[in-house]
C-alpha cells in the first residue's frame, strides 16, 4: 500500500541519510519502519505512572497551548513541581484560582 506523508525536518534528514531507491527496495521506508517499531517497543516497556486527577489537570495546563520543544520537555518536571507547590500552598484557593 502506498501512502503520501509530509516530510518534516527530521524525516528530511532521514531521507538524506538513506539516499534514494526505487520501488519496494526503498531504504527510507525500511528505515522509517524500523524507527517506528523501536519506538513502539520502547513505549510498551516504559511503565505508565499512576497520577491523580489533580496531577493530570496540572500536566494538561502545562501542555495546553504550548509548543512542545526539547526545552519544554526538559523543563516539564520543574513546571509540574511549581504547579504542585502553587496548588498546595493555598494560594490557588486564596486567589480564587482553584483551577490552575
Average pLDDT over residues 1-7: 83
Out of 21-30, 33-42, 88-97, least confident range: 88-97
Over the Cα atoms of the chain, what is R_g? 21
Residue 100 counted as domain residue: no
d(CA 83, CA 59): 9
Q: Identify whether residues 40 and 57 lie together within a single domain.
A: no
Has residue 1 been placed in a domain? no
**Are 73 and 89 found together in one domain?**
yes
State what percent of residues in the chain have pLDDT above 70: 67
Provide the domain limits for residue 34. 9-45
Does residue 3 sit within a domain?
no
The domain tally of the chain equals: 2
Q: Is residue 66 part of a domain?
A: yes
**Is residue 99, in this structure, part of any structural domain at all?**
no
Q: What is the predicted pLDDT for the residue at 82?
A: 73
User: Per residue in 20-33, is it b (16+ CB within 10 Å) or e — as a string?
Assistant: eeeeeeeebeeebe
- Per residue in 32-69, pLDDT tens? 999 999 999 998 898 877 878 887 777 777 777 666 66
Confidence (pLDDT) at 18: 85
> pTM of this prediction?
0.49
Question: Which pLDDT does position 100 carry in this prediction?
Answer: 44
> What confidence score (pLDDT) does residue 59 get?
74
Q: Is the pLDDT score of 30 beyond 50?
A: yes
pLDDT at 57: 77
Amino acid at each position: 500500500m502506498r501512502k503520501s506523508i509530509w516530510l518534516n525536518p527530521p524525516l528530511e534528514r532521514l531521507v538524506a541519510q538513506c539516499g534514494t531507491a526505487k520501488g519496494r527496495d526503498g531504504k527510507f521506508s525500511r528505515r522509517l519502519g524500523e524507527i517506528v517499531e523501536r519506538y513502539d517497543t520502547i513505549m510498551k516497556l516504559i511503565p505508565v505512572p499512576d497520577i491523580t486527577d489533580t496531577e493530570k489537570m496540572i500536566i494538561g495546563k502545562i501542555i495546553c497551548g504550548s509548543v512542545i520543544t526539547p526545552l519544554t520537555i526538559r523543563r516539564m518536571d520543574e513546571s509540574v513541581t511549581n504547579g504542585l507547590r502553587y496548588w498546595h500552598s493555598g494560594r490557588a484557593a486564596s486567589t480564587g484560582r482553584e483551577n490552575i
